[in-house]
Amino acid sequence: MKDISSFKNSPHYPVMLDQVLNLCSPNKGGDYIDCTFGAGGYTNAILSFSNTRVISLDRDKNVSNYVSETKKNYKERFTFYNRKFSDLDKVIRKDFKADFIIFDLGISSMQIFNLNRGFSFNAKSKIDMRMGLNTFSAFDVINRCDFKTLKNIIKHFGDEKDSSKIALNIIKERKKSEINTVPKLVEIIKRSKRRNFKKKINIATQTFQALRIFVNKEISELINGLIQASKFLKKGGKLIIISFHSLEDKIVKFFFSNYSNNKPKVSRYYPYIKNDKILFEKYFNKIILPNKNEIAENSSSRSAKLRYAIRSKDNFFYPEDLKKKFEFYLNLESQYA
């Protein structure tokens, strides 16, 4: 096994890199798609094994320096597209099939620590939160969305109990003047929250997560990305997803188990029904978590969950049930034009 520890010193610590490489066995070569390039931690680690080829995507054009560096080192074996992963079919050749497709969801350290981009509640800047290739920003959402939409975004994407009060105070405040900076929004959230001394996380965390998900349409991206990836995966190829919050994990778990050939029964009292809608081999519902050392080195890995599934021999079909199951969230994300 190569010493891959140097890749962990990248501006973004690549979460569970050892586990990802163990699942991929890059020493055997192969074709990879890295749907979330970031600082290129996974991509470069995979390319450091000869006979591997990687196609990477990222919606953020600010990753260009890391892309140039990777291109310099690996020329023909590396291709990059500044695209969203829901557009996989617009950039990948129809007849191309990958051995491994990887998604490392969420935001990068470069995005969160660049305080001008307004992802962090410590920022002093305008509220923005666009990862790239967006149609609107968090500023637009805060200042233009109606009460019901705003409340639902904060409630369902942030799991925030005080969503009504926060939405109400946002609407009240913006009648006086536009809410244009992060500190102003944080102050409104603080004022709206019931005190909970047990909670260790910052009072604004859940509202900020909700806004970020909505601005970047992260649920629609994930659902469409999973569907696209299954289309471009070889039979026997692995789809590897690292998620960071419960809704993402619920979507991945449903997709893998509902379309595998040991789909769980609705209840143990129901007869077993043969599943004829199969995209994946037997799925064991196993979650891989970062180990203690990794969490100590990189605390933001503590909420990471890795799931993977193996593409079955069955031909691709469009998995309608996935969209139906999460229709509520897809509709909510399409509320703002």
Ligand X SMILES: C[S@@+](CC[C@H](N)C(=O)[O-])C[C@H]1O[C@@H](n2cnc3c(N)ncnc32)[C@H](O)[C@@H]1O
Helix-helix angle 218-231:246-258, to 10 degrees: 30
DSSP character string of 129-194: ---SS-S--HHHHHHHS-HHHHHHHHHHHH--TTHHHHHHHHHHHHHHS---BHHHHHHHHHHHSP
With respect to ligand X, which residue has the nearer C-beta, 102 or 153?
102
With respect to ligand X, which residue has the nearer C-beta, 19 or 36?
36
Contact (CB, 8 A) for 295 and 232: no
With respect to ligand X, which residue has the nearer C-beta, 54 or 63?
63
With respect to ligand X, which residue has the nearer C-beta, 188 or 242?
242
With respect to ligand X, which residue has the nearer C-beta, 36 or 163?
36
CB of residue 38 to ligand X, shortest distance in Å: 2
CB of residue 5 to ligand X, shortest distance in Å: 14
H/E element, 306: strand 305-310
Structure tokens at 152: 């639902």
Residue type present at position 86? S
Residue-wise over 17-36: b if at least 16 C-beta within 10 A, else e? bbbbbeebebeeebbbbbbb
Site of interaction with ligand X (CB under 6 A) = 12, 14, 36, 38-42, 57-60, 63, 84-85, 104, 106-108, 131, 221
Q: How far apart are CA 245 and CA 261, in angstroms?
A: 26
CB of residue 178 to ligand X, shortest distance in Å: 27
CB of residue 129 to ligand X, shortest distance in Å: 12
With respect to ligand X, which residue has the nearer C-beta, 42 or 280?
42
With respect to ligand X, which residue has the nearer C-beta, 103 or 256?
103
Residue type present at position 60? D
CB of residue 211 to ligand X, shortest distance in Å: 15
CB of residue 104 to ligand X, shortest distance in Å: 4
CB of residue 207 to ligand X, shortest distance in Å: 20
| Bridge partners of residue 302, in order along the sequence | none
CB of residue 315 to ligand X, shortest distance in Å: 26
With respect to ligand X, which residue has the nearer C-beta, 26 or 38?
38
DSSP character string of 238-249: EEEEEE-SHHHH
DSSP character string of 253-295: HHHHHHTBTTPPPSSTTSPP------SBS------B---HHHH
Contact (CB, 8 A) for 157 and 247: yes
